[in-house]
Amino acid sequence: MDNTLKFKLKSIGSNTNIFAFLFFAVFGFLTIIDAQARILITDPAYYLFNIINDGDFFISGPRYTTVINQFLVLGAVKLHVPLKWLIPLYSFSFALVRLGYYLLAVKVFKSKSAGFAIIAITVIGVSESYFRPTSESTIALLNSVLLFSFLFYSDNRDWGKWKTTIQLLGTIAFVVFGYYSHPIALFSLFFVVGYFSLFNKKFKTLYPYLAILAVLLVFMGKVLFGANSEHHSSLYGNLFSSPIAILKELPTYYSYKYFDGHFKQLYRTLIVLLICSIVVLFIKREKRLTALFVAGYSVVYFVVACTSFQKGDSNMQMEKIFIPIVLFSALAFSDGVGNSIKRKELLINVAIIVIFIIGFQQISKARLLYQGRIDYLKEIVAEAQKEDRKKLIIQRDQITKKMVFSWGMGIETLMLSSMKQDVPPLTVFCQQGKEIDKENKAAGNFIVAHFRTSYAQKRLNENYFQLPEEEYKDWGRDLK
């Protein structure tokens, strides 16, 4: 082989950290330049609105892990950093959390397989969901990756008779943390425990049985008896009703059709990765049971996901429900390569490069839609500036489909207008369904969203929002 080619292959095959950090550098940069499109939309805008005005962490329901992404932006609010910098800072914080988990997995627990999985779940099967960053489901998956790295790290330590006990206690700690993240963590945690136990032949020890029992007890308690059980049981309830009928009806579900319809754009890479993970595990005879576990578990989860969202949801949400399969495939692939292939570094780095290219292409296709949404929102703000009143209400049929999501418009227009020093701030609330009553149109009230129509305007943080205290006006302007 030509010496130059050998050098290039050697370079590609020995710089995993360089490729990984390059990936995160590009991803972080994109979160900054796409900040307005990512943050001034529904949930992210709502969270930032509350963080700014309360001057504290904002936790919606039992989603306690959302505070992890809020440290940076909350500190900036305390320092009165301008709003135009808070938005990119908040957007960047989601990339920073992923990088933090990557460093823990790779540098502390010495697991390049876990690091590869974090990169994979960041962009494989991701397009529109990139433009609505939420943290609870992401933290649930990252938490599972960290459990994976901890278990394999601990198995290589010389901890004597305490090893199994330490592994079990660590697993329980991650499971309890998963309890406070998202119900989807059940599937990823269970996968990690099962994969680790099969791969390292732990079924002759107490670990897998006690670990699986801990996972099931914690999450069944949350689903069946928790205060939020109705919300979380949606991931399981449909499956319990009639498993046989579900298999027959599966092709008719919206979720199945979504996966099939977006296969070429989003999920072809995922399926290739899944097949490769099974193949590299199957190469070694002693790992064939593990390969069958990965294949079977992925199929079971696919059925669960399709069943749970059989009636469908937004494209952003539909993308998120299939990401755990990316996690299963990425962990199995990178771990299988590390134990079966001679040039493992080369193969992993090539995979990172391919994921890098394909993933960012998927995101760029959705950028036109969501950057177009922000541009249209700016047009609405510009038109509203011409009105004598600065608190306006419009109907959904007065705006175009460019808006995509409109329930957060009252917050989003307030933030956009407040970033400009030369114009007075304003808010344009988009009414959806039920008419806003006179009391909520009063001068001292701010309409946050259709589910929170009463909010004392005096609670707005004056360092950021100086909205005139006046009554809302029904704005009849057709903005189509």
List all residues 6 or more positions away from 62 whose beta carbon is below 8 Å from its beta carbon: 180, 226, 227, 228
What is the average pLDDT across 399-421?
A: 93
pLDDT confidence of residue 242: 62
Q: Give the span between the Cα atoms of 424 and 437, in whole angstroms.
A: 26
Q: Please tell me the pTM assigned to this model.
A: 0.91
Instruction: Give CA–CA dist 235/309, Å, rounded.
Output: 8
Question: Taking the CB of residue 444, how many other CB atoms lie within 10 A of it?
Answer: 11
Instruction: Quote the DSSP letter at residue 388.
Output: S
- From the list 433, 351, 432, the residue with the least C-alpha distance to 123 is 351
Torsional sign, CA 446, 81, 37, 311: negative
Please, where are the H alpha helices in 183-253?
A: 185-199, 207-225, 229-232, 237-241, 243-249
Residue type, 130: Y
Listed by start position, the domains of the chain span: 3-367, 385-474
Mean pLDDT within 146-153: 95
The pLDDT assigned to 39 comes to 97
Name the band, by pLDDT with cuts 50, 70 and 90, for residue 344.
confident
For residue 256, name the pLDDT band (cuts at 50, 70, 90): very high
From residue 78, alpha-carbon distances to 20, 71, 135, 223, 399 in Å are: 33, 11, 22, 37, 36
How many CA atoms lie within 13 Å of 424's alpha carbon, on the beta-carbon side?
Answer: 13
Whole-number Å distance between alpha carbons of 174 and 140: 10
Mean pLDDT of the chain: 88
Looking at 104-118, 131-145, 223-237, 307-321, which range is the least confident one?
Answer: 223-237
Residues 95, 27 contacting (CB under 8 angstroms): yes
pLDDT at 13 over 60: no
Q: Which two tokens stand for residue 207?
A: 């670990």
